[in-house]
Amino acid sequence: MTALCPLHSPPWLAGFDPALVSAVAALPIEEFLQYANQRAEMQGQCTGHGKPTRFVPQTTPFAGADYERCIAETGEIPTRDNLHDRYNALDWLTFPKTKASLNQAQVAAMGRQLGRQLGSQVRGRQRDAFTLWEENLAVLVVPAGEAVAIRQSFARHDWQEIFVARRERWQQDWQAHLFGHALLEKLAAPFKAITAHLIVLESPEGNDRSRNGNDLTPIDRALVAHLQGLFDPAAFLHLPVMGIPGWDPANDDPGFYSDTAVFRPQRAAQQRGKGGA
């Protein structure tokens, strides 16, 4: 297979392996699946149930539960020729431990729910939380000792503090990584109001951006631990992603953050002090 030259990519893709980003963007689907499977095999990638993962063409529609069980039971990840599924493959190959744990947790939650409510179509709050994680998660990695204060700023919707007063922190010490593949798909045609479900992590041991380049393995391990404590969608904070310095040239103007339709003030009901994840 011909090697790809990395394409210029927007800032929200900068943390991913450039060759993998180029494969997502440029390869015909048959070649992309071949490339993705070669990467998965080289990484020794498995599901949470120990099945080696393979990306395969999706030939029939799946209900959500059947899709997750298919991956868990066979290791096969059904993949359509669209950005949504290509970005899902990007996530599997970048955050393999987290994706495997997420699939395992989703299947376990389905089993618990089936035992409680046979025949019920109610998903439950934990499954809703898992779906938000998979589709729309952003992760902000910050230096040790800063996470609590940053979570509180996000919980207060203190956008001036986050994006203006601490602007240099985004450029020097804070790392934003996108996990949700629906979120990445939206950013193919970016608009100001795109908002991610956010967790804030203190930088894990071994996470040295200057030394490790695109190696997100320490963050992948840290996300697995965080996922184990996820039970409720209310655990997430919110991040209007185009407010991140450098992600939209217009946000160089502090007035960018005065748009309350996007950078919303905290509602009265929230002012009791949500700590966030």
Q: pTM for this one?
A: 0.89
Q: What is the mean pLDDT of the segment spanning 184-199?
A: 97
Cβ atoms < 10 Å from Cβ of 164: 15
pLDDT in tens, 56-74: 999 877 665 788 999 999 9
The angle at the Cα of 189, spanning 179 to 71, to the nearest 5 degrees, equals 35
CA distances (Å), origin 141, targets 78, 87, 147, 240:
31, 21, 8, 16
* Residue 112, pLDDT above cutoff 70: yes
Instruction: Please provide residue 10's backbone torsions phi and psi, each rounded to the nearest 5 degrees.
Output: -70, 165
In the chain, the DSSP E strands lie at 54-57, 76-79, 137-142, 175-178, 195-202, 237-240
Cα separation of 181 and 13, whole Å? Answer: 12
pLDDT in tens, 229-265: 999 999 999 999 999 999 999 999 999 999 999 999 9
Q: How confident is the model at residue 8 (pLDDT cuts 50, 70, 90)?
A: low
Tokens of 162: 């986050």
CA distances (Å), origin 207, targets 28, 57, 96, 204, 212:
34, 35, 16, 6, 7
Q: What is the mean pLDDT of the segment spanning 27-55?
A: 96
pLDDT in tens, 71-86: 999 999 999 999 999 9
Closest CA to 277 of 219, 218, 197: 197
* Residue 203, pLDDT above cutoff 70: yes
Q: What is the mean pLDDT of the chain?
A: 89
Q: Give the strands of the sheet with 137-142, arranged side by side.
A: 175-178, 137-142, 195-202, 237-240
In a 10 Å sphere around its CB, with 0-12 CB exposed, 13-18 middle and 19+ buried, how is residue 277 labelled?
buried
The proportion of the chain whose per-residue pLDDT surpasses 90, expressed as a percent, equals 75
* Residue 166, pLDDT above cutoff 70: yes
Closest CA to 77 of 50, 20, 37, 38: 37
